[in-house]
Structure 1
Amino acid sequence: MNRTDRLYAIREELRRAGPAGRTAERLAATFEVSTRTIKRDISTLQHSGFPAWARPGPGGGYVVDPGATLPPVNFTEAEVAGLAAAAAVHRDQPFAEHLRGALNKALSVMDSGARERASSLTDRIWIDATAAPASAKVERSLEHALNEMRVITLDYVDHKSAATTRRVDPIILALTRGHWYFVGHCRLTDGIRWFRTDRIIGARLTKERASVIPVDAIGAPPSSASSLTDR
C-alpha cells in the first residue's frame, strides 16, 4: 500500500472506530508499518484539515470528531445488487477498487439472511464488460491526480504508435464510445487533450498543485452524457 492509499485507509479506520478511537500501536499493526510512521501520517492528516486528535491517558489513542463519522446505515438487497452491478461494469476501470470497498462495507453490515437474498439477486444479473482497462497502477495515479488536483506526468502512445511524455492538469475522467478517457490541459501542446486510459503506459503523480480548469472548458458533452452528479 502506498502512502496516499494508507492515509485514506487510516482516515476511514478512524471514522469507523468512532469514539473508541485507535491507538498508534493498533494502527501500526493493521497497516504493517511502524508507530512512528503512523504518527507522521496522522500529523499529515491533521495538517490537511482532518479532525483527528490524540486522546491522552490509559486507553487513549487517536479519535475523530463525531461530525466526520456516519450513523448506522441499512442497505436493501436491491441497493447492494446495484452496487455489485456497478462494480462489475467498472471492473478494472477508474475508481473500481473504491467501489468494491463500498460494496464490501455494505455487505459487512447486513445480517446473514439479507446477504443471502442479495447474493440470490446478483446471481440474476449478468454483465458483459468490454471497455479496455488501463493498468492498475495507472488507474490509481489518475484517480489521485483528479481527487487531489495535482499535476500528473503521462507516458502516452497515440493511435499512430507515437510515444510522448506529457505533464497534464486534470479536468475529468470520461467514459464514451466504449473507452475511458483522462481529459486535461496538456502542458506540452498547451491545449486540452483527451487521453485514452488504455494507451497510457505510465503515470507519475507530481507534488505540484494543478491549475483548476472548469469542466465547461472542454466544451459541451454529447446529449447522452452527463456527470455522476446529474444522474
Structure 2
Amino acid sequence: MKRIERLHALSEMLRRSGARGVSADRLAREFEVSVRTIKRDLDALDNSGVPLWSRPGPGGGYGLAASGSLPPVSLSPAQAVALMAAVSAAADAPYADQAAAAVQKIVAVLDPTTKARANGLARRIWVNAPPCSSRTVKSALEEAMAEQRVVRIRYTSSQAATTTRDVEPVLFAATNGQWHLIAWCRLRNAMRWFAVSRIEQASVTRTACSGHGVDEVGEPPRNARPVHRRVG
C-alpha cells in the first residue's frame, strides 16, 4: 500500500474507532508496518490539519476528534445517486478510488429512508466504464502529483517508441475520453502530454519537483475546464 493510501485508510480507521481510540500497536499490525512508521504517519496527518487526539498510558491510543467526522448530510436520493453514477462512470479518473470511498462515507450517513430510495434508484443506472489503467501505475502518478515529486515512467508512444524518463507532474487532463498526465519531461527538457494508458510502469522518486506550474502548459483544449470551484 502506498503511503498516501495508507494515510487515508489510517484516517478512516481512526474515524471508525470513535471515542474508544486505537493503539499504535494495533494500527501497526493492521497496516503491517512498524510502530515507528505509524507514529510518523500520525504526525503527518496532524501536520496536515487532521484533528487527532491522543491518550497516553495503558488503554490509551489515538483517535479523530468529533470535528473531523462527517455530520449528517442532507441530500435527495437523486443527488446521492448522481454522486454514485459520476464516480462509477469515471473509474479511470485520478483519485477515483478515493472518490468512491468519499461517496460511501456520504451515503453511510444518510437517513435510512433516503438511503433506501437512493439504493433503489441506483439499481436503475448501468455504467459501461472503460477498462482502468494499472492500479500500480495510477497510485504512483497520484502520489507524485499530490506530493509534487518526480516520477520515473516507462512510456510507449503512439509510434511504438518506448522510453524511460523522469517527469515532474503538473496536472491531469481528460480529452476525448482519455486521461493524460501533463508533466515537465526531464529527458526532453519541455512540457509533454503522456496518455496514462500508455504508461507501462511508474515509480515515485525522492526528488521534489522544481516548481513548473499550470501556466506553463499553455491553452487548455477547447471546452476543458478545471474541476476546482471556489466555495463560499
When the two structures are superposed, what TM-score results if normalisation uses the length of structure 2? 0.85
Match of 1:117 in 2: 117
Change beyond 3 A, Cα 1:116–1:73: closer
Q: Which is worse superposed, 132-141 or 169-178?
A: 132-141
Alignment RMSD (CA, Å): 2.6
Work out whether residues 83 and 99 of structure 1, in 8 Å CA contact, stay in contact via their aligned partners in 2.
no
**Alpha-carbon distance in 2 for matches of 1:219, 1:206:** 26
TM-fit CA distance, 1:68: 4.5
Structure 2 gaps, min length 5: none
2:202 alignment counterpart: 203
Cα gap change, 1:117 to 1:178, in 2 (>3 Å):
same
State how far apart, in whole Å, the 2-side matches of 1:213 and 1:198 are: 23
With over 3 angstroms needed to count, the CA separation of the structure-2 counterparts of 1:13 and 1:184, relative to structure 1, is same
Offset of residue 61 of structure 1: 1.3
Check 1:195–1:118 CA distance in 2 against 1; reply closer, same or farther (3 A cut): same
Partners of 1:81 and 1:49 in 2: CA distance: 30
The letter for the 2-side match of 1:219 is G
Give the 5 Å matches for 1:123-142.
123-130=123-130, 133-142=132-141
Separation in 2 of the partners of 1:32 and 1:109? 30
- Alpha-carbon deviation of 1:170? 0.7
Deviations 1:9-53 (A, max 9, x none): 213333454554322244235434454543343245456665545
Q: Percent identity?
A: 42
**The residue matched to 1:229 in structure 2 has which SS?**
coil
- 196-205 vs 110-119, which deviates more? 110-119
Aligned partner of residue 228 in structure 2, secondary structure: helix
Find the aligned partners of 1:170 and 1:227 in 2 and give their Cα distance. 16
Number of the residue aligned with 1:229 = 228
What is the TM-score when the length of structure 1 is the normalising length?
0.85
Q: Which amino acid aligns with 2:182?
A: V
Asked if 2 retains the 8 angstrom alpha-carbon contact of 1:93 and 1:134, the reply is no
* 1:57-100: CA deviation from partner (whole Å, max 9, x where unpaired): 35421244555554343443222211211121112332111121
Instruction: Give runs of aligned pairs for residues 30-109 of structure 1, distance below 5 A.
Output: 30-46=30-46, 52=52, 54-64=54-64, 68-109=68-109
In structure 1, how many angstroms separate the alpha carbons of the residues matched to 2:215 and 2:9?
A: 33
Residues 174-216 of structure 1 deviation map (CA, whole Å, 9 limit, x = unaligned): 1102211000100000000000000000000011111222212
Distance (Å, rounded) in 2 between the aligned partners of 1:107 and 1:29:
29
The letter for the 2-side match of 1:87 is V
State the Cα distance separating 1:156 from its structure 2 match. 0.2
Query: 2:21 maps to what in 1?
Result: 21
Q: Match for residue 170 of structure 1? A: 169
- Bigger shift: 209-218 or 20-29? 20-29
Q: Secondary structure at the match of 2:184?
A: strand
Inter-partner Cα distance in structure 1 for 2:71 and 2:204: 34
